[in-house]
Chains A and B, each alone.
Chain A
Amino acid sequence: MFSILFLLLAAGVPYYILLEKKTRLNSKSIFLLSGFLLLSAIILSLYVENEHRTSLVIVSFASAIYSIYKATKTTNFYKLGYYLIFVNAPFFILFEGAGAMYSFSLLVSLVGLFLIGKFYEKNYGSANYRHITGITLVTPCVGTYLTLYLITLALYPPFPNALFFLSHIFNSEPNTLWYIIVVTLFFANFSLAMGVMRATLFGRPHSDIHYVHMNSKEKIVHFLILMLLLTLSFFGLKETLL
């Protein structure tokens, strides 16, 4: 019973297909809803043991594969945010207890990405990053934070996603399904994050766009997210090394 609840809350089934069809719910709301449900799953896993069944892992993996496909098609930060929640759902189920920490750090990095999306929406009209190129050159502060979030999502240390991921895979018993999931999601997270990097961080600045810098309030918020990520990294490092 709880396994199925975990599967639903942790985005193991692509319920966004239905939500996307509802015109009242925009991509921002779907991100917030799926993020909230994942947070609920994380909190629930503190009280209820998250034991996975192979069939549920396969279901979540199938959902992840579909979400990877959807994520490659989007250039919207909000959509990419919730697709990434669904892409990483098999880790939550497969990693059991350790999966909660991984998912939490994923959620924190996605909040950062979501705020970057909001920044784009406020200044460039929408959270769509297509054609908004050369951010690294013209607005270095936005570029730095976005780079850090994307490095985190691409599973690179010293950020917590990579550390919790490594911690789990070093301490688990691999089988064929485990290998397939780990390899697929290892490359999927990387490819999706690198795709965003190439699309908006890199490239020549667009001459028709008036690039805007972050204001102090936004800088503080992103700095706090970064600090939270580094704090999680500290715990991740402890868990991985000791």
Chain B
Amino acid sequence: MGTGVLMEKVILLIPGIPIFIAFILFFVRKKELIPKVSLALSSMVALLALYGTYYVISNDTKIIGFDGLLIYNELSAVLVPYVAILGLVIRKYASKYMWDEAGYKRFFILLNFIFASIYLFVMSNSLIVLALAWQLLSISLYLLVSFNVGSKTAVKNARWTMNIHKGADLVFIFAIILTYKTFGSFNLAVLSEKWLAMSGHPVENPMIFVIGLLFLLAAMMKSAIMPFHIWLPYTSEAPTPVSAVMHAGVVNVGGILLNKMAYLLLLAPGVLNIAFIVGLITAIGASLIMLVVADIKRSLGYSTVGQMGYMIMEVGLGAFSLAIYHLIVHGIFKATLFLESGALIKWARHDSNLPKRLSYKLFWEDKVKSNSKQIFNYIAFFTIMPIVAFIGIKMVLSEEFFEFNAAIIILAFAWLTGTQLFMSFFKASKSYSTMVMFALVGSFIMILFTYEFVGLALEHFIYGDDALLFYKAATFNITMLMSVAMLAIIMVVGWLFMYKQYFKDIPKIDSEPKRMKLLFYKFLVKEGYFFSLFKVFKKGKL
């Protein structure tokens, strides 16, 4: 066997390495050695992943092994290095953060198991391996979320998490059984070819819709899509590195699953439409709740739920590769937020106010009275600028970028929620409106450009010419004119809301809030009365 071939096979060992690390850690006695061993061997995984990606890109080929059970293809080439590097950062962070916690070794062992299951999931080429990884992920997550075993609330929330994930396991297993009964194979590569061949002709088998729907349901449960979202915002009591893993890794598996099943969903456009609708409801619902909940960690939880909503919406519109890009970008962003929280607390102890970061210096100002007549000018500017940027970027790049029309609307939503969250943390003054305005419009242009550019590059890399089939299958995909019109509506409504909400003015004491507005606010603060409903059924056990 040549060195090249051997290296190929070694790459397929990636999912086994974290399990090997966990096994070694079990016998490590010295506490100081635990992070060192874990980091050193995890670095190997990251290097192997990078080599694997280089191999796949340079040779334009896939690495398949273990009787076709594992594959290192284009999707793995994108995701495995991301997970490996993320894992490295989280381990490094946890090595100090978790030092004084009881169960230091247990934490690292469990962390390695959860990463093993994610690698296995991404690299699986068999539905059975996928099912094993899916379940391994559930149990590892449960043990990590309930890491603070002494805390009643942590254990209770972990129980909720586990119940939903167990439901996802069952739905997933049934989807696999039906797939095997209908298509006669467990091999994903074989199945994808079969599905692609079938996509050329009209398909009238209702079982395909059922299978697609089951996979979507399983993905929704794992990715905390409404109404299965309750596990995510309430697991913030887990250690910060676990929160980072959950928000940057675990919730993404729903999107990864739907990408693996992309060719099946070609045959079931109805499922794509359902994905779009549930994604839309989740994105709007979770984003609204995110803005009103008082607990900052829960707010971040709802932010992730909202982002997962966008991701599922993208899948519903046939922009599968964009969903992958979205989950990577969101994962990096959210992991950074969680991992930085410790440093923020440290700074906050020195300064009772928020730490004076760049954004703080730019946007913070005491509430002062300013000329509010300019509001319409600002809104007009906020509406026109993004549309000009949207069309401009499309013109500058190429005609092909017009395939992302619908996804752009989602991006606009995502950007609006992001800025809303940003504004809720950093109060902006009307006197600095111009600066804020330029910063936010600038961020939109940047997001638009990178999403268009990287999204298309990823699409070519992962799906090649097949990507166009997904857009055709997604019946909710829209024209350029519609996307511009929708973008304008979103911008006007979004900015009007934000301007009124966050650009602070001297409050009028004599004005009373409207009753309907108060009721709506109460509805959001109570998180849609989700838990109150459960309490009615569970007789206050929750």
Q: Which of B135, B155, B177 contacts A162 (CB 8 A)?
A: B135
Interface string of B153-189 (1 = CB under 8 A from A): 0010001001000100010010011001000001000
Q: How far is the CA of A147 from the CA of B146 in the complex (A)?
A: 13
Residues of B within 8 A of A170 (CB): 128, 176-177, 180, 186
Give every chain B residue within 8 A of A203 (Cβ-Cβ): 149-150, 152, 155
A202 to chain B, nearest CB (A): 4
Pick the contact of B135: A147, A157, A169 (CB < 8 A). A157
| A44-83 contact mask (Cβ, 8 Å, vs B): 1 or 0 | 0000000000000000000000000000000000000000
Contact call A140/B173, Cβ cutoff below 8 A: no
Shortest beta-carbon distance from A178 to chain B in Å: 10
Asked if A241 meets B129 with Cβ closer than 8 Å, knowing A147-B143, A203-B150, the reply is yes
Which residue of B69, B143, B176 contacts A241 across the interface (Cβ within 8 Å)? Answer: B69
Indicate if A136 sits at the interface (CB-CB under 8 A).
yes
A137 and B155 CA atoms in complex are apart in Å by 14
B103 close to A140 (CB less than 8 A)? yes
B131 touches A190 (CB 8 A): no
Separation of A198 and B159 alpha carbons in the complex (Å): 9
Report whether A194 and B159 are in contact in the complex, using a CB–CB cutoff of 8 Å.
yes
Residues of A177-205 at the interface with B, using a CB-CB cut-off of 8 Å, are 183, 186-187, 190, 194, 198, 201-205
Whether the Cβ atoms of B166 and A204 lie closer than 8 Å is: no
**Cβ of A183 and Cβ of B155 under 8 Å apart?**
no
Please measure, in the bound complex, the distance between the C-alpha atom of A190 and the C-alpha atom of B173, giving whole angstroms. 15
> Residue A123 at the B interface, CB < 8 A?
no
Contacts of B146 in A (CB 8 A): 202
Chain A residue at minimal CB-CB distance from B156? A198
**Residue A166 at the chain B interface, CB threshold 8 Å:** yes
Contact call A242/B106, Cβ cutoff below 8 A: no
State A241–B149 Cα separation when bound (angstroms): 35
A89 close to B (CB within 8 Å)? no
Report yes or no: B170 in contact with A242, Cβ–Cβ below 8 A: no
* Chain B interface main SS type: helix
Partner of A158, one of B102, B136, B149, B170: B136
A178 to B132, CA, bound (A): 21
Residue of A with least CB distance to B152: A203
B226 to chain A, nearest CB (A): 23
Is B126 part of the binding interface, using a Cβ–Cβ cutoff of 8 Å?
A: yes
B60 at the interface (CB under 8 A from A): no
A179 to chain B, nearest CB (A): 8
Q: Does A106 interact with chain B (Cβ within 8 Å)?
A: no
Residues on A with C-beta less than 8 A from B132 are 157-158, 166
Most chain A beta carbons < 10 A, residue from B69, B126, B150, B170: B150
Q: For the complex, is B393 an interface residue (Cβ under 8 Å from A)?
A: no
- Whether B173 pairs with A137 at a CB distance below 8 angstroms is no
Pick from A162, A166, A202: contact of B149, CB below 8 A: A202
The answer to the question of A3 belonging to the interface, with a C-beta cut-off of 8 Å to chain B, is no
**CB < 8 Å neighbour of B173 from A136, A169, A242:** A169
Q: Is A156 an interface residue (CB 8 A)?
A: yes
Q: How far is the CA of A203 from the CA of B166 in the complex (A)?
A: 22
B100 within 8 A of A: no
* CA distance in complex: A205, B103 (Å): 14
Q: At the interface, yes or no: A240 with Cβ under 8 Å from chain B?
A: yes
A203 to B126, CA, bound (A): 39
A interface residue numbers (CB < 8 A to B): 134, 136-137, 140, 147, 151, 154, 156-158, 162, 166, 169-170, 174, 183, 186-187, 190, 194, 198, 201-205, 240-242
- Residue pairs across A and B with Cβ atoms less than 8 A apart, 5 shown, are A136-B103, A174-B177, A194-B159, A203-B155, A204-B150
Binding site for A on B (CB under 8 A): 67, 69, 102-103, 106, 126, 128-129, 131-132, 135-136, 138-139, 143, 146, 149-150, 152, 155, 159, 162, 166, 170, 173, 176-177, 180, 186
Q: A158-B132, A241-B67 are in contact. List 18 more A-B contacts (CB 8 A).
A: A137-B103, A137-B149, A140-B103, A147-B143, A151-B139, A162-B135, A166-B128, A166-B131, A166-B173, A170-B186, A183-B170, A198-B159, A201-B149, A202-B155, A203-B152, A203-B155, A241-B129, A242-B67
